[in-house]
Structure 1
């Protein structure tokens, strides 16, 4: 699987050339060479992804997705290939790592992060910024959904786009009335969406809203064999990513013990999910898979933070990661028809300096490469946009 190869490359720091698979928008619309382009960069977290796709559908932005908590320079190159005027990052640095901000800032691309400590804070920030900075308005309806209920989130996104209502994520401690008051949202109609697995969360929210005063509609999304298996597969992928990452970092004993404990817990929950699935208990399988995925993401966050620290502290490792990213950017520029001959020569010089451990040369050449990339990108924006066409809604995020 491609994601396994990517993790191995990332943490093995191998300088093996691979061809990135850039997401391309369907070529069924007019060229956007002179139009403004906004890219929304988001992780494959189901909640943040729903917000990104919502904005894409109502604003025409382009969505680019990265693995949760993992840095992949192919993503930087993909964003670059759209020559965006602005990039909005949805999610905190645990979800969309800070390295992307550094990469895009070197290209002088305006970057804003709309994120909080968790998906609920991110939700509030995105809604607030969408109103204040993008001028979005909502039609007096609110779609409320548990923030970790993947199936319900998919259904809620469709409802929100169709009704142009505000999408709000909740858990058992959420105070929806307070959130709407802080956002200055007056919802005349409220739709509560959840799978049976999240019934207790919805009951808590409905109680907080007041059943007499609440013009509420409840929608229950059934968990099928297909959707339960999808949740299991997503959980299994997260766990394997966490294990790959943990094997390639060194943690302090206390943190290592905690990470291993979380991985064992995730493995047990995944095993229970598979057992329940085989017994035809799809709701239970779905719930256990969600829990396993959350515990795996805890480990990914720990490993990602340690890896970032290692890169910053080790000049050779930093140079190799830099080379990995630059080679992907070169491929994107070549695809757009930009002459990268001088840049390639500098890259060859940097590889030699890294091999020789010549740290003074490494610093000097990296700076030259950064300047050359920006020069080529700034001059080549038109070439990137000549290759771009967008569908009618201008986004990747159609639900």
Structure 2
């Protein structure tokens, strides 16, 4: 996020989905943070649609694109929503679709279906009939590439959970990792056999498992950091080094900050945790000032690297 040097950031999702640490990290840099989040992802979805309409003056065309808890369906639904200026709603088997349609004041819906979300979409279709809404269907088939893309995402999550499990010596997390790896093997076997639908369904199940696993892992790490000052300081140091690296790549002079970072590492290694905390607060203030004064340089660097400049939609 810092590499784009934004003035403000909107977080979409509650604190379980996007942990509060993101908020404090960004605010420490002087970035304004706003959170759009509900009790679950379905509430968050509606809140995001409503807030985007006000915040960015988005104009919707009076129709909605409906997708289930299904990565492939969501990806295609997003494309259709952008192309047609439609609202996208994300549903599961317990969603009150009729209520959502009434809330959004729309009567036309397009349902995006895959083999993994057919039952949910049948229920959606029934509810749409009840509110006298017009419903069209788009069928999207699971392919080998679809499964492979999801595997990459899920493997990264499993790897992260495993790293935290090793760092916190959590037996429970390691057991979860082993179960996840077994499910991954089953999905890979189905993929190699050409049963893409089965492989995809297993990966969707694993995607949900990793979401819960990451929440648990974050909780374990937070608890460990509360009782282990060295671990907490070392993780903060890693974050600060990443922030310094962003500014360094943009050509900002961070030599004085880098020198203090070396002193900080020595303090931590020597067990001078209280002194280290004081020096860390000083370094954070210096990073904040350097970031605030060098935002344009960071933006210029981002434009050269990514071919884009951060801006409001």
**Fold shared by both chains (TM-score > 0.5):** yes
Shift of 1:80: 1.8
CA contact (8 A) 1:236 1:293 kept: no
For the pair 1:97 / 2:11, whether they are aligned, the reply is: no
| Cα distance per residue 1:53-99 (max 9 Å; x no partner) | xxxxxxxxxxxxxxxxxxxxxxxxxx222221111112233332322
| Cα distance per residue 1:301-351 (max 9 Å; x no partner) | 101111022223332222211211111111111222211122112112211
For the pair 1:206 / 2:125, whether they are aligned, the reply is: yes
Q: Match for residue 247 of structure 1?
A: 166
> Could you list the runs of 5+ residues in structure 1 that have no partner in the other structure?
1-78
For the pair 1:111 / 2:33, whether they are aligned, the reply is: yes
Shift of 1:217: 0.4
Distance in 1 (CA, whole Å) between partners of 2:4 and 2:162 is 33
Distance in 2 (CA, whole Å) between partners of 1:393 and 1:343 is 28
CA contact (8 A) 2:7 2:31 kept: yes
Listed as ranges, the matches of 1:75-90 within 5 Å are: 79-90=1-12
Q: Match for residue 231 of structure 1?
A: 150
Distance in 1 (CA, whole Å) between partners of 2:156 and 2:301 is 34
Q: Match for residue 176 of structure 1?
A: 97
CA contact (8 A) 2:81 2:88 kept: yes
TM-score, structure 1 normalization: 0.71
CA RMSD of aligned residues (A): 2.6
TM-score, structure 2 normalization: 0.89
Q: Match for residue 288 of structure 2?
A: 374
Listed as ranges, the matches of 1:115-130 within 5 Å are: 115-130=37-52
Distance in 1 (CA, whole Å) between partners of 2:8 and 2:26 is 10
Q: Match for residue 220 of structure 2?
A: 306
Distance in 1 (CA, whole Å) between partners of 2:89 and 2:270 is 54
Distance in 1 (CA, whole Å) between partners of 2:156 and 2:244 is 30
CA contact (8 A) 2:28 2:284 kept: yes
Distance in 1 (CA, whole Å) between partners of 2:16 and 2:165 is 16
Shift of 1:199: 0.5
Which of residues 154, 179, 189 is equivalent to 2:108? Answer: 189
Distance in 2 (CA, whole Å) between partners of 1:87 and 1:267 is 35
Q: Match for residue 318 of structure 1?
A: 232
Q: Match for residue 11 of structure 1?
A: none
Q: Match for residue 163 of structure 1?
A: 84
Structure number with the higher helix fraction is 2
Distance in 2 (CA, whole Å) between partners of 1:212 and 1:363 is 59
Listed as ranges, the matches of 1:24-43 within 5 Å are: none
Distance in 1 (CA, whole Å) between partners of 2:22 and 2:99 is 33
For the pair 1:334 / 2:248, whether they are aligned, the reply is: yes
Distance in 1 (CA, whole Å) between partners of 2:124 and 2:23 is 36
Distance 1:261 1:208, change over 3 A: farther
> Could you list the runs of 5+ residues in structure 2 that have no partner in the other structure?
none
Q: Match for residue 8 of structure 1?
A: none
